[in-house]
Amino acid sequence: MDLIALPAFTDNYIWMLHDGTDAVVVDPGDAAPVLAALDARQLALAAILVTHHHGDHVGGVDELRPRLKGAVYGPRAEAIPEPFVPLADGDTVQLLGLSFTVIDVPGHTAGHIAYFEAGRDGAPLLFCGDTLFSGGCGRLFEGTAEQMHASLAKLAALPGETRVCCAHEYTLSNLKFARAVEPGNAALARYQAECEATRAASRPTLPSRIALERAVNPFLRCAEPEVIASARAQGAASTAGAEVFAALRRWKNEFR
């Protein structure tokens, strides 16, 4: 099974998973990169997975329908281009011989979902849209800080080797913020240097891994003393996880 990050727009990735014959794509905001990849590899489009309703995730869906052999899948609670198969927490989707479990992860949008595949090779897959980024998380456009904090806790509890396939190349800017939050984190400093070299070579920093994100991502580290201290300095009302998260997210919104 091949996993490919197809660049789109300025910093999006459309994820493609294929077995040499059939492909599944995730969040195709633009049809052109998908069509080019299908043609270059002589693949059929078996299905489309959508995590949430934003245009840079669904904008290419209708243009891809003439090539689509199967269905479009998306969150039940959001307006996804029709027709689509509505999904909610705990549902499963069988594709390419794999079983994807749906996880409700509200916060970035009210009905955002993620897709988790447990993997048979010790490398599970997570397609998490704009909920979890490497070193960061999505903005709260529709949900609350409490919802996003809980959603990220669900994802952080997945196996450490899970490949984190998020939808944007935001890693370097996220790590700049993470260093401001937790300057004493040596693992974070090492990861930032690795990612700088990766981007200098024009390679994607993704997929990340859940274990790595637990070690470097301040939004998953709201119980760490240095993260708490930084959040309190930014006005966190208490040391409770959701309050620490809320202060970090507000800070990140204005961080340059």
Q: Which of 18, 53, 108, 149 is catalytic?
A: 108
Give the active site residue among 18, 57, 112, 149.
57
**108 has catalytic annotation:** yes
The active-site residue, picked from 27, 30, 53, 56, is 56
Q: Is 130 a catalytic residue?
A: yes
112 is catalytic: no
As a whole number of angstroms, the distance between CA 224 and CA 206 comes to 25
Is 149 one of the catalytic residues? no
Catalytic one of 18, 27, 30, 54: 54
- Distance CA(85)–CA(37), nearest Å, equals 24
State yes or no: is 56 an active-site residue: yes
Active-site residue among 18, 53, 149, 168?
168
Write down the catalytic residue from 52, 53, 112, 149.
52
Three-state DSSP string of the chain: CEEEEEEECCCEEEEEEECCCEEEEECCCCHHHHHHHHHHHCCEEEEEECCCCCHHHHCCHHHHHHHECCCEEEECCCCCCCCCEEECCCCEEEECCEEEEEEECCCCCCCCEEEEECCCCCCCEEEEECCEECCEECCCCCCCHHHHHHHHHHHHCCCCCCEEEECECCHHHHHHHHHHHCCCCHHHHHHHHHHHHHHHCCCCCCCEEHHHHHHHCHHHCCCCHHHHHHHHHCCCCCCCHHHHHHHHHHHHHHCC
54 labelled catalytic: yes
User: Which residues participate in catalysis according to the annotation?
Assistant: 52, 54, 56-57, 108, 130, 168
